[in-house]
Chains A and B, each alone.
Chain A
Amino acid sequence: MVKRVKKRLVLRFPADRVNEPITYVLIKDYDVSINILNADITHGKEGNLLIEMRGEAAKMDEALEYLKDRKVHISPVVKTILFNEKDCIHCGACASVCFPGALTMKNSNRKLKFSPDRCVACELCIKACPLQLFELNFGA
């Protein structure tokens, strides 16, 4: 069985690489499925891309080699959101600002559900929570 892996990375493109179709190459040549979670790219300037990559382990390694070769700086996403669930009153004020759907109230018992694997650490919940139960964590 082929081993498949998932990686969440921030790719930093040098200004002279912004015009290259790097995500196209990743998909076409390395068969990596890419989900762009956040993009900040302007021609002639350095760009940042927050992506989630899924693919076969061996091909993923090759893909990362390719990125390094193209002088793209790769850093794993280490920012995560910590949620103090114990003190939550389940109002749900955070749910409508959560674009990736990591915070949801759609269950019938009206309790807040936090799915960390969907969180992209956009930080909007931190200010939306009236009890200040979300915190940014910079640890690995």
Chain B
Amino acid sequence: MPVKKSFQEINEKIKKGKAVVLTAEEVSAMGRDLSPAQVVEKVDVVTTATFGPMCSSGMLINTGHSDPPIRIESATLNGVPVFSGIAAVDLYIGATENHPERPDYGGAHIIEELIDGKDLELVAHAKGTDCYPRRDIRTTINRENINEMIMFNPRNAYQNYPAAVNASNRIKYTYMGSLLPRMGNANYSTSGELSPLLNDPDMRTIGLGTRIFLGGTTAYVSWHGTQYKSNAELNEHGVPVSNAATLTVMGDARNMSSEYIKAAYYEKYGVSMFVGIGIPIPVLDEEMAARLMIRNEQITTRILDYGNPDHPELGRVNYAQLMSGEIEFNGKKIRTSSLSSLYKARKIAGILKKQIEEGAFLLSEPLEAFPAGKGLNSLEIR
């Protein structure tokens, strides 16, 4: 009889402190000697993680009302514009929003400083209404004197991402880092076999309401991410060969730490934010075990030329090759860099593993699965 486990059965084991938890790297190594049937018998939960720059991120705050109150129509925090086109004193700090005069300072820095408890200068304006008569505000806010601080990231944890090279004759500064001319280097950005959505490529266990680690605290998957794609080309191991599924995630930023949320600046591109995400995956059956045993050499990605505005595909490569520090491409050795930190991702996977082992983190079964067969529209300029 093949072993099958439900979320409930696994949670019962976690509560009793009897669940066997491994990180995705540990289970990939184990998979060299054991079959999926043996893995499902031995292991209950596998922790996955990533710590990379995720531009589509931000924080929703509510500043509290002043007396007399204001209906904020435009606002800045430390000079960085924040979105105020929602009711009175709700503000959304977009991670990639830039300070108009300081290209290396922006929304992500504001978010990190709020998490760290620093004072920020709030400047806001409004036309003044009968119910909200105040027209101007200049004051300081911090994590202690505002109401909500909700991390709300519309597109995180990309399931795979292309590796970038630059075949042109000039250095390119991109969101994929500094790309040296004539394919002088290749940059990639995932944690490979440790990456959450690469371990559940069919999104069987990750969906609406999945409990996750986000930025240092327990948080949730609150929708499928923007640009969610579930009809991407798969390789022979059933893994998308390019960017595919994404997640919208939410959590209480007041409990987060700048150890796992970090502002970043990419030369000539702008501000972005490193986000730390960890997702536990239950080993429900043999099929799930087989997915979780995937190794870096079985995960393929495309090499795109960022030296050409159309980003044409030049070839394919796997993550064992990319992580070795050097790939061979068209007879040329090319040094590789990661943009996401495997060191930090391992730390997150380890923390989550410990929390589950100690019974402090239970798994949640998705309330709803994310759409299958979903493609993407592109913008036609009419």
Contact = CB atoms under 8 A, between A and B. Distances in A.
Given A96-B185, A127-B173, A128-B178, A89 B325 contact: no
A49 to B, nearest CB: 22
Interface string A97-111: 100000011100111
A90 interface: yes
Interface string B164-199: 000000000100011010001111000000000000
A93 B177 contact: yes
Contacts of A115: none
A131 B262 CA distance: 8
Contact of B177 (A104, A128, A131): A128
A59 B339 CA distance: 46
B262 A92 contact: no
**Interface band, chain B:** 20 to 34
B342 interface: yes
B272 A96 contact: no
Contacts of A104: 325
B337 A96 contact: yes
Nearest to B334: A96
A46 B291 CA distance: 62
Contact of A130 (B185, B266, B342): B266
Q: What is the interface residue range for chain A against chain B?
A: 20 to 34
A131 B272 CA distance: 10
Contacts of A94: 337
B48 to A, nearest CB: 16
B134 interface: no
A132 B336 CA distance: 20
A93 to B, nearest CB: 5
Given A95-B325, A110-B346, A127 B267 contact: yes
Contacts of A106: 325
Interface in B325-381: 325, 335-344, 346
A110 B342 contact: yes
Nearest to A112: B343
Interface string A105-139: 11001110000000000001001101110000000
Contacts of A91: 52, 274, 337-341
A49 B338 CA distance: 32
B320 to A, nearest CB: 14
Q: Is the interface of B mostly helix, strand, loop or mixed?
A: strand
Most buried by B among A93, A95, A131: A93
Contacts of A131: 262, 264-265
A58 B337 CA distance: 43
A36 B53 CA distance: 37
Given A124-B178, A128-B267, A93 B339 contact: yes
A130 B263 CA distance: 8
A26 B323 CA distance: 41
A88 to B, nearest CB: 9
B51 interface: yes
A130 B264 contact: yes
Given A91-B340, A92-B338, A127-B178, A132 B265 contact: yes
B104 interface: yes
A128 B341 CA distance: 14
A84 to B, nearest CB: 14
Contacts of A96: 177, 180, 185-187, 335-337
A110 B343 CA distance: 5
A130 B186 CA distance: 16
B85 to A, nearest CB: 29
A80 to B, nearest CB: 20
B185 A89 contact: no
B337 A89 contact: no
B266 A105 contact: no
Given A89-B274, A111-B343, A105 B338 contact: yes
10 nearest A-B pairs in the assembled complex, by CB-CB distance: A96-B337, A96-B185, A130-B264, A90-B343, A127-B267, A96-B335, A128-B178, A91-B341, A110-B342, A110-B343
Interface of B: 51-53, 104, 173, 177-178, 180, 184-187, 262, 264-267, 272, 274, 325, 335-344, 346
Given A89-B341, A91-B52, A130-B264, 18 more contacts: A89-B51, A89-B344, A91-B340, A92-B338, A92-B339, A95-B337, A96-B187, A97-B177, A97-B337, A106-B325, A110-B341, A110-B342, A127-B267, A128-B177, A130-B53, A130-B177, A130-B272, A131-B264
8 contacts: A89-B51, A92-B341, A96-B337, A105-B337, A106-B325, A109-B343, A110-B342, A124-B180
